[in-house]
């Protein structure tokens, strides 16, 4: 009975949904790499952190 009802309807293509999903995944991955690279460039150098640590006075 179900097959008879579906026979008259045109099946929707999965291709546009798949393309949209891949586009979203690509944008998300690109954003992660972009902000990770930006954070790495703005991070202080290791030498600066070591210099700050040696100037700490302990009472």
3-state secondary structure of 9: coil
Cα–Cα distance for residue pair 25/30, rounded to 1 Å: 8
What Å distances lie between residue 43 and 33, 39, 46, 49, CA to CA? 15, 6, 9, 10
Separation CA 16–CA 9 (nearest Å): 19
Report domain extents, the chain: 14-58
Q: What is the pLDDT of residues 12-38, one digit of tens each?
A: 788 999 999 999 999 999 999 999 999
Residues 44-56: tens digit of each pLDDT:
777 766 666 666 6
Cα 58 to the center of its chain, rounded Å:
43
6: which 2 tokens? Answer: 């579906």
């Amino acid at each position: 009975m179900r097959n008879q009802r579906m026979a008259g309807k045109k099946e929707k293509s999965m291709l546009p949904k798949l393309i949209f999903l891949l586009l979203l995944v690509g944008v998300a991955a690109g954003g992660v790499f972009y902000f990770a690279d930006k954070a790495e460039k703005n991070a202080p150098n290791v030498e600066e952190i070591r210099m700050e640590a040696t100037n700490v006075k302990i009472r």
